[in-house]
Structure 1
């Protein structure tokens, strides 16, 4: 981090000024040299004079991080944040890299929007990677946003606070926290900003489903989709269509599932985003594997979209299920062993879907003649799924458990 003297020298040289030119009539060349080399501290009058000669505000020199440097760092961090993707291990590594990059600046950031945004990103990355203590930076970001009256940014932090409870599987608390925040912002603003309204609708729908309230989850989700269409706001529409399609799948409403997947494909074509198409295909693959047991169709669609999906955790899970269904037991087992649970999927629906892996491994070991290993995995699957809501995954896992333990030892 540049010192005050170093900043003065850097700006002077950038402007092509000599020591004498900057010193002018009120400072000696020697004194200015001492200031630039950190051997003397300027008075506030001298600092104001230097800033005036440089054509900048005095506070620009006093800031421990100049505005240009601060903005450059934020641009760099935003780019890194956008590029965090891949497997859970790769995502954690990305969060660690960002946290490490920001960490040396945390205590020296001035009171500015850019600082608040850096602190927000830093706290999120620290929380997700468990790299540093996230809370002090989070609180400072919120304080700056509030004093700058950036209500939408404050709302984002409130949502993140609720989602932290979701990640810790405190579902009821997460929903209560989000609803309390929403009520507070609605009372303060009267009417929520349309984008924030959609954010609150989306996350509240997710949290309703996490607590088992499917009626309110569907109601909010469909209200958000209707609102988006009415106001021609496409923000969150991709996520809402995905949520609606998956919810319809679980409800056994194939007509509605096909409707929303069709909408998702149209939006993918409109936005020219192959990743959205991949998500639509992912719902179909899961449908073929876990609901209709059309394993060949699932495998074909999975391989056709392997490059676009880029979701290794998902790929190994669904590939293993397809291979099991086609009776390629050894290859299926190898896929399941490569699968790793993504730590950023704390929702009961996601967890239940991935807990099927242990049940499939139990069935594979049974087919391979290893009854003891089959019992171990069947027991693991049962223990994992028992706290989860009553979904088709739970029924499959419990049926597998009864099948394995119903056999004579």
Structure 2
């Protein structure tokens, strides 16, 4: 961490000035040398004079880190920082980012680059479970507010609300999102289109998390309609996925077909195979869970397993096991159900409930194979997991299996 004298010497050399050239007529070369070597402290008048000769603001000399240094750090951090599906590898990268910013975070000046560094530091610290992220996030928000950067302030409000979501405080998170939205709408009257869609997206997720499918659909549809009106594709794929999945829960085949087709068209437009796989995943889930067309589901699963190896574990192994069970292929179903691993970063009750079905299906398979003890164990695991969840079809199914195995 450079001292005041070291910062003056560094800037002088960067500008190609000698001690005499910087000292000019108002400072002696000897006094400037003492200042640079931290053997004398300049008066505010001398500091203003030196800053003027260096063509910078005197506040930059008082700051422990130069603008150039902060901008360089931010550039390095932005190149490392990714907003992606959470994973252990991503958390390792976040820890690297936290270490890079740690030295600077408490002495950053009041400027955009500092706010962005503090925001990234807070986000990475939260996901990496490192203490201190709240105070840094508050400082970032204060700077954004002071600079009248409304969208950036809104981003912090959304992030703060979604930390409650990841900690499964769903009602609290919904209230926070709604209150934040009201604050920003009152301040700017009309939200930036992308920020409006962010609020819509998260509000719909949180409505569904508390089991209010009706309001979740209302917000989703409003957001989709708004996207069409504004010709904005931001979050459209996520909204189609949410709407399609909600349609499966509601057993609304017409609405499910509509959103799956929209998702496929959008995937084709972007040439995005992963998005297409998600559309198939919604269809497969409907076939297995609602219409019980197991052979058809299995056919679509196999087609995807051949194309999307990197996402098959998460999307298709459980559904493959369910399809095989439905087809009476119990040994094969057991193999696929055991392959399924639940992603540890799931937080939405829909996602959690769906994946808790694994143990219920294992209980059914073991019962068919004559291993009643294993069936009892897995039925109990499924019951314990599902009990805190909302009354979705998955909970009814799991409790029915539990009663069946224990009867």
TM-score normalised by structure 2 residue count: 0.89
Aligned equivalents of 2:315 and 2:27: distance in 1? 67
Aligned equivalents of 1:272 and 1:64: distance in 2? 48
Bigger Cα displacement from structure 2, 221-230 vs 34-43:
34-43
Aligned to 1:207: 206
Aligned to 2:54: 54
In 2 relative to 1, CA 104–275 (structure 1 residues): closer, same or farther, beyond 3 Å? farther
Deviation at 1:364, TM superposition (A): 4.0
Aligned to 1:393: 394
Aligned to 2:250: 251
**Contact in 2 for aligned 1:319/1:335 (Cα 8 Å):** no
Aligned to 1:331: 335
Aligned equivalents of 1:222 and 1:78: distance in 2? 34
In 2 relative to 1, CA 84–73 (structure 1 residues): closer, same or farther, beyond 3 Å? farther
Deviation at 1:350, TM superposition (A): 1.0
Bigger Cα displacement from structure 2, 227-236 vs 316-325:
316-325
In 2 relative to 1, CA 333–348 (structure 1 residues): closer, same or farther, beyond 3 Å? closer
Q: How does 1:58-73 map to 2 (within 5 A)?
A: 58-73=58-73
Aligned to 1:358: 359
In 2 relative to 1, CA 331–15 (structure 1 residues): closer, same or farther, beyond 3 Å? same
Aligned equivalents of 2:249 and 2:78: distance in 1? 36
In 2 relative to 1, CA 91–340 (structure 1 residues): closer, same or farther, beyond 3 Å? farther
What SS class does the counterpart of residue 60 from structure 1 fall into? helix
In 2 relative to 1, CA 6–383 (structure 1 residues): closer, same or farther, beyond 3 Å? same
Instruction: Describe the superposition over 1:164-188 as per-residue Cα deviations: whole angstroms up to 9, x where unpaired.
Output: 2222222222222222222222222
Q: Is 1:6 aligned to residue 10 of structure 2? A: no
Deviation at 1:384, TM superposition (A): 1.5
Bigger Cα displacement from structure 2, 345-354 vs 95-104:
95-104
Aligned to 2:215: 216
Bigger Cα displacement from structure 2, 186-195 vs 224-233:
186-195
Instruction: Describe the superposition over 1:209-232 as per-residue Cα deviations: whole angstroms up to 9, x where unpaired.
Output: 111111111111101111110111
Deviation at 1:44, TM superposition (A): 2.0
In 2 relative to 1, CA 290–129 (structure 1 residues): closer, same or farther, beyond 3 Å? farther
**Number of aligned residue pairs:** 401
Instruction: Describe the superposition over 1:25-50 as per-residue Cα deviations: whole angstroms up to 9, x where unpaired.
Output: 33333333333333332222222222
Q: Is 1:297 aligned to residue 292 of structure 2? A: no
Aligned equivalents of 1:373 and 1:75: distance in 2? 54
**Contact in 1 for aligned 2:313/2:339 (Cα 8 Å):** no
Q: Which has the higher contact order (CA 8 A, sep 6+)?
A: 1
Bigger Cα displacement from structure 2, 394-403 vs 239-248:
394-403
TM-score normalised by structure 1 residue count: 0.88
Aligned equivalents of 1:387 and 1:348: distance in 2? 9
Deviation at 1:189, TM superposition (A): 2.1
Q: How does 1:69-108 map to 2 (within 5 A)?
A: 69-82=69-82, 84-85=84-85, 88-108=87-107
In 2 relative to 1, CA 102–230 (structure 1 residues): closer, same or farther, beyond 3 Å? same
Q: Unaligned 5+ residue runs, structure 2?
A: none
Deviation at 1:161, TM superposition (A): 2.3
Instruction: Describe the superposition over 1:289-315 as per-residue Cα deviations: whole angstroms up to 9, x where unpaired.
Output: 4444345324313313424x5475445
Aligned to 1:184: 183
Q: How does 1:359-374 map to 2 (within 5 A)?
A: 359-367=360-368, 369-374=370-375
